[in-house]
Structure 1
Amino acid sequence: MDMDIEDEVVRLFSKSGLSEAADLLKGMLITSCDPYVQNIIKTFKLNALVVHDEWELFCVNNRVSSDHATYLDKFKIAVKKNVNELKKRLGNTKTITHQYHNKPTLMFKFLFSHRDQTLQNKIDKQDEQEFDEIFDFSDVPTVEMVPLPNNNNNNNNNSTDNNTDNYIDDEFEMDLTEDNNNNTFNGISSGLSSHDKQQSQRAIRFAQTKVPSFRFDKRQGADEIVQEYVGERLKSKDIAPQQKMIPKIIEMVPPSKDSGNVDNTPYPTKYMSQTLEGRTKALGDSVLKYYDQFQVEFDPVANADPSNEIQRAVGRIWLYKTGLSLTSQFKLLGNNQSSVNTFSIPNPNEPIFSGQVVMVEGKRIPGQHFGCSKIYYPKQLEFLNSNQRSKKDSSCYIIVASGPFSEYENTLYHPFKELCKVIENKRPNIVILNGPFIDESNQNNQFLDKSFEEFFYEDIIQPLESITSTQFIICPSLRDVQHDYVYPQPPFKSRSKNTSSNIHFVTNPSTLLIDNSFTIGLSNTNIIQQLELRLDNGKNDIKTTGTPLICEKIIQQQCYYPLHPAEVPIETQFIDSIKFPSITPDILIFGKVDKPFIANSNEVLCIGSGQLMNHSGKTGTYTELIVAPGDEIIVHRSKVITRII
């Protein structure tokens, strides 16, 4: 090698979490990672720069934020699979390590393949010219958006539209079709599963994202009202400011009667611990619990008799063949009509989606086909019984905000700090904060001066603990880099037994009982937008008028995430944990929505608070909710205001 491998390993990998300053002595790495990393470099005849670059991508793909040394064996396997591609990059990087050994700023410019404006202003023109002479940027991929492979076989590849929304999807999509068996990814043969391939593309898309420059202190319209909802039976005296805010009692409602205490629920630590057959079976078996949830009676034994003229079947709507609409032909996963293969609905505008539990009624058609004359949806669960509610004399004031909580071009968390000022000034009873708190799409997270977990507890949770007059509910997100990527998500762990009593870590999703008075359901996924796309068949105006309809479908399915195949990493052995408990929540709050909304759907107050920072990198919104005392249904005695932060 043309370089001192040991020095390069020390310099590069100490910046990536593999060593601490205390472990460095005269440029020698004395941790157990040092010989292992050098062995990878020597074995595959690479250099430290290329291996470091591959390690950064490996950490993103595998969500590595701590215990880095335990991942080195997997990293070596990943390097071996991709060694040919890495060697192609080797020739372009040999000279740069010599010339810029003492110039880490220029080295970082190379590693990220683009020039950050802040760093560029700090580099003088001489270094800039010298850098360009040594390395020809014409051979480096530019940071332009590259469309992902399009499975729709259209010919619109020449579009010049630069809207990054066409290429960015915050949640991965699990494709269970038969066309997803190709083991080649970007021309490289691998043994990766389809989930792994899509996660790799997901990381690449985030790495290539361009975010427009935005200064939070120059924002416009702060505290302006975006939308407002006032319950028809709300009285002005019930929403008057109180001289003394009364703390509210918060309890988590177990997902089901058999789950016991929600805090003892054994959540998984990783996704896809079940086989594809096991997940499919779990989805089919879960249909049994819906048999008594329809307006008409369903008798599995009587309906299995082929001699009956009118028959009924219950199951999950499932795609029959790619290219066919669900209404024209679909399967029913878990249905009792084993002799019937496919079903059809005569109304092409029927709002159905894959994974939806339905009951169909009709006649069997020759050729083992079932023509549906009627379709039934599950009944809505009852609200919390009035005998179980405590009557209150004061209103409850709640603020709801959803991440990201920082600008995309830095990690200063100005929006979060501004939100804390709002909370201190308005003194709500409860604040509901939905993640992501450390957003995986923020490329500047790598420049944090502490681990993700330390930053989360020291810079986000500790400031909240000091606001003792307010109870805080903390709900995680699948985009939180410091938390488990699995759905349902377990709550964040208390860092110590000394965690303040005003901090409540809850699951995603979760159902909360507030002061024994009313219930709130929290769902921090992109389910609203995902169902909007599935229900939009081009013949209805679902995008402008369909939010109440989408919320209605979620309420009917008695489930926080009824879409299957899911676009989130559902662990099906815990599928009961994403269902409503034995009641329908009075209020449904959806944490991850692109645009804020307020809707009354089936007497349920549905709220999408928007995001504190939206996907374009500009300031977003938060929501204020006031629930007044009384005996009326919650949606009729509530006031909701969405404001710009």
Structure 2
Amino acid sequence: MGPGDAGCVSAERLASELQMFGLDCEEAAYEKLAELCPLYRRTEDQLVAELVAFSNNTGKVYLTLENLASFENEFLNKRRAKARHGATKKDSGHQGTWDIVSIQELIEVEAKEETLLNSYTTPSKGSQKRSVSTPETPQSKRNVSATRSPHLLFSPSSFSPSATPSQKYSSRSNRGEIVTSFGSTQGMSWSGKGGSGSLRVKVLDASRAITGPYKSMFQKLSDIREVLTCRIEELGCELKELHKIEAFSPISVPAQEPVTLLGQIGCDSNGKLNPKSVILEGDREHSLGVQIPVDLSELKEYSLFPGQVVVMEGTNTTGKKFIATKLYEGVPLPFYQPTEEDGDSEQRMILVACGPYMTSDSVTYDPMIDLMSVINRDQPDVCILLGPFLDAKHEQVENCQLTTTYEDVFRKYLWMVIEGTRSSGTHLVFIPSLRDVHHQPVYPQPPFSFPELQKEDQKRVHFVSDPCSLSINGVILGLTSTDLLFHMGAEEISSSSSTSDRFSRILKHVLTQRSYYPLYPPFEDTSLDLEHFYSHAQLPVTPDILIIPSELRYFVKDILGCVCMNPGRLTKGQVGGTFGRLYISRQPAHTSERKSPCTAAQVVKI
């Protein structure tokens, strides 16, 4: 049997890695190697590194089944035994607590450590109730408490020398305060069923979803131009049909009569857009991409931002300047029509939270542990967690104070959340952020990868891309962790006699421009891959609920029939922030009159 017959891809990778280090195996040993990886929780690279160390120590360069048995007994089993007795990462070539095979072993190790520490303590003055433990009669509270306690699942001291809880966060006094509400929230119990019943959580149009990392920064200028042009033409065609426009005129041709132009809003310089710097970049079919300055003085109401596809009517007597007199507004896409395959129309509870999940002065994830307590208490059907999970703007990340890799910290965090919420049965949806220091910083962003996910969790744990259109029993949620409200709010200009607020205008643009990120050029810290953007960041339908977290103030609004929520961030610097919760209940399939599936929503202090 050759390396390719081992039954899984890992055997092929092991064979190539071993050959690179000058090691060879007999044919029957490849299958044994493939079994050792999941058995001892090793990746191919980690197992090969340990095989190289074993070979250097023993002088065995040809690995037989007998040699592998020796490697397993003398090398792997000894390291596992050290981990069970509380060995630190310095005692092993595999860093961190991942040497411990199961969560129960980690609980036992930490319980033994606490028991040993308690045996050397004495009661404080005035405390007569505390019993003194001795090594002969150990008493540990961890043995009595629930084995799924989040505090046992995560030990930040393993990757930070200053893992102390935030004093400001722990001393907050407004826990559980409801800061805004939407819909009929009177008498709501705000408890779910833990994902029981026929709950179906899936990505809408999964065939077009991003499933893994991709190469970015390889875009050709011609391809970028093609994407922008196609977007202008597609929206222009919809606007032309909607407003019954006969034809679009070319930008550069003077006309004495009023003309209608199609194009994209831009700025005439590198600065911020203002009413005097607006230009219109024409489409390819009618204007060959020619640009023209726009005079907005005749427009009574407008709301414009760079990248916005618009149809304008006005005069262009010289071909050098366009005086706009009318701005045609777009319309959103139709809503999704549920079918019998989407499951029942039973009322479901959804909890939504956005990172950071730790305060800026600590790495203890106390806010996330408090959120997990809410999850286990209320048992929502679905919990949507948006990044950042390990924030690139965190003090200890910026100052390089972490003692282990970003990936290790994140994986321990995931492990904590998944294990700590298993008893609730809640479906978990993880969405990355461009601020996640351990993940690919490109928009659209591929989903997280977590190969250590156990089989029992695979049905309830979902890793999706940013952005994502998610279907929960036929109710469509538009999800993005990118702070689009802040990005567009810094660029949008408007003039209006009405009292519409900026949030509502921006959200309306998102729906009518039919894109999760209609701003172009993008915000200065956003790396945009336009080819994948065109395929994966366009709205397939108008979502029933749009989750759009931001640094700006939390809200819940109904915009053109879509319920838009900014749940805020779970932490704000050193203090606690907010999270959101919703009740959804869609109408049965084939119902003609549409009603909002979001029956109630609240934003709550953590």
Which bin holds the TM-score, normalised by the shorter protein? 0.5 to 0.7
Q: Give how far 1:639 is off.
A: 0.6
The structure 2 residue matched to 1:418, chosen from 370, 391, 403, is 370
1:143-292 alignment to 2 at 5 Å? 214-230=167-183, 245-246=196-197, 248-254=199-205, 260-264=207-211, 268-270=214-216, 272-274=217-219, 279-292=224-237
CA contact (8 A) 1:354 1:565 kept: yes
CA contact (8 A) 2:196 2:381 kept: yes
Work out which of the two has the higher radius of gyration on C-alpha atoms and give 1 or 2: 2
1:561-597 CA-partner distances (Å, limit 9, x unpaired): 1111101211112121454343111100013333211
- Taking structure 1 as reference, are residues 214 and 454 closer, same or farther at Cα in structure 2, changes over 3 Å only? same
Alpha-carbon distance between aligned partners in 1 of 2:598 and 2:314, rounded to the nearest angstrom: 43
Q: Give how far 1:240 is off.
A: 7.8
Aligned to 1:316: 264
- Taking structure 1 as reference, are residues 389 and 382 closer, same or farther at Cα in structure 2, changes over 3 Å only? farther
Alpha-carbon distance between aligned partners in 2 of 1:509 and 1:352, rounded to the nearest angstrom: 23
Most deviating of 423-432 and 461-470: 461-470
Aligned to 2:281: 332
Alpha-carbon distance between aligned partners in 2 of 1:430 and 1:243, rounded to the nearest angstrom: 8
Alpha-carbon distance between aligned partners in 1 of 2:175 and 2:497, rounded to the nearest angstrom: 35
1:50-449 alignment to 2 at 5 Å? 214-230=167-183, 245-246=196-197, 248-254=199-205, 260-264=207-211, 268-270=214-216, 272-274=217-219, 279-294=224-239, 295-297=242-244, 309-321=257-269, 325-326=274-275, 329-334=278-283, 336-338=286-288, 341-345=292-296, 346-347=298-299, 349-387=301-339, 390=342, 392-445=344-397, 446-449=400-403
Aligned to 1:169: none
How many residues align structurally?
427
Q: Give how far 1:354 is off.
A: 0.8
Aligned to 2:418: 464
Q: Give how far 1:239 is off.
A: 7.3
Q: Is 1:639 the counterpart of 2:600 in the alignment?
A: yes
1:171-205 CA-partner distances (Å, limit 9, x unpaired): xxxxxxxxxxxxxxxxxxxxxxxxxxxxxxxxxxx
> Structure 1 regions of 5+ residues with no counterpart?
1-21, 24-211
Aligned to 2:530: 572
- Taking structure 1 as reference, are residues 269 and 496 closer, same or farther at Cα in structure 2, changes over 3 Å only? farther
The structure 1 residue matched to 2:486, chosen from 504, 529, 538, is 529
Alpha-carbon distance between aligned partners in 1 of 2:569 and 2:522, rounded to the nearest angstrom: 23
2:488 aligned partner, one-letter code: L
The structure 1 residue matched to 2:432, chosen from 461, 466, 476, is 476
Q: Give how far 1:490 is off.
A: 0.4
- Taking structure 1 as reference, are residues 579 and 326 closer, same or farther at Cα in structure 2, changes over 3 Å only? farther
Alpha-carbon distance between aligned partners in 2 of 1:213 and 1:540, rounded to the nearest angstrom: 46
Q: Secondary structure at the match of 2:238?
A: coil
Aligned to 1:487: 443
- Taking structure 1 as reference, are residues 361 and 486 closer, same or farther at Cα in structure 2, changes over 3 Å only? same
Task: Work out the percentage of aligned pairs sharing the same amino acid.
Answer: 23
- Taking structure 1 as reference, are residues 309 and 394 closer, same or farther at Cα in structure 2, changes over 3 Å only? same
Aligned to 1:450: 404
Q: Give how far 1:253 is off.
A: 1.8
Q: Give how far 1:523 is off.
A: 1.4
- Taking structure 1 as reference, are residues 243 and 414 closer, same or farther at Cα in structure 2, changes over 3 Å only? closer
Alpha-carbon distance between aligned partners in 1 of 2:496 and 2:541, rounded to the nearest angstrom: 34
CA contact (8 A) 2:195 2:427 kept: no
- Taking structure 1 as reference, are residues 460 and 215 closer, same or farther at Cα in structure 2, changes over 3 Å only? farther
Aligned to 1:597: 555
- Taking structure 1 as reference, are residues 553 and 418 closer, same or farther at Cα in structure 2, changes over 3 Å only? same
CA contact (8 A) 2:277 2:293 kept: no
Aligned to 2:81: none
Q: Is 1:546 the counterpart of 2:546 in the alignment?
A: no
1:528 aligned partner, one-letter code: L
2:481 aligned partner, one-letter code: N
Alpha-carbon distance between aligned partners in 2 of 1:244 and 1:471, rounded to the nearest angstrom: 6
CA contact (8 A) 1:268 1:571 kept: no
2:596 aligned partner, one-letter code: V
Q: Give how far 1:487 is off.
A: 0.4
Alpha-carbon distance between aligned partners in 2 of 1:324 and 1:466, rounded to the nearest angstrom: 47
1:389-435 CA-partner distances (Å, limit 9, x unpaired): 74735211000000000111121110011111110011000000000
Q: Give how far 1:217 is off.
A: 1.8
Q: Secondary structure at the match of 1:425?
A: helix
- Taking structure 1 as reference, are residues 352 and 393 closer, same or farther at Cα in structure 2, changes over 3 Å only? closer
Most deviating of 602-611 and 215-224: 215-224
CA contact (8 A) 1:382 1:584 kept: yes
> Structure 2 regions of 5+ residues with no counterpart?
1-48, 51-164
2:445 aligned partner, one-letter code: Q
- Taking structure 1 as reference, are residues 374 and 301 closer, same or farther at Cα in structure 2, changes over 3 Å only? closer
Q: Secondary structure at the match of 2:604?
A: strand
1:237-268 CA-partner distances (Å, limit 9, x unpaired): 9978669843621111238xxxx34255x753
- Taking structure 1 as reference, are residues 569 and 267 closer, same or farther at Cα in structure 2, changes over 3 Å only? same
TM-score, with structure 1 as normaliser: 0.60
Aligned to 1:31: none
- RMSD in angstroms over aligned alpha carbons? 3.5
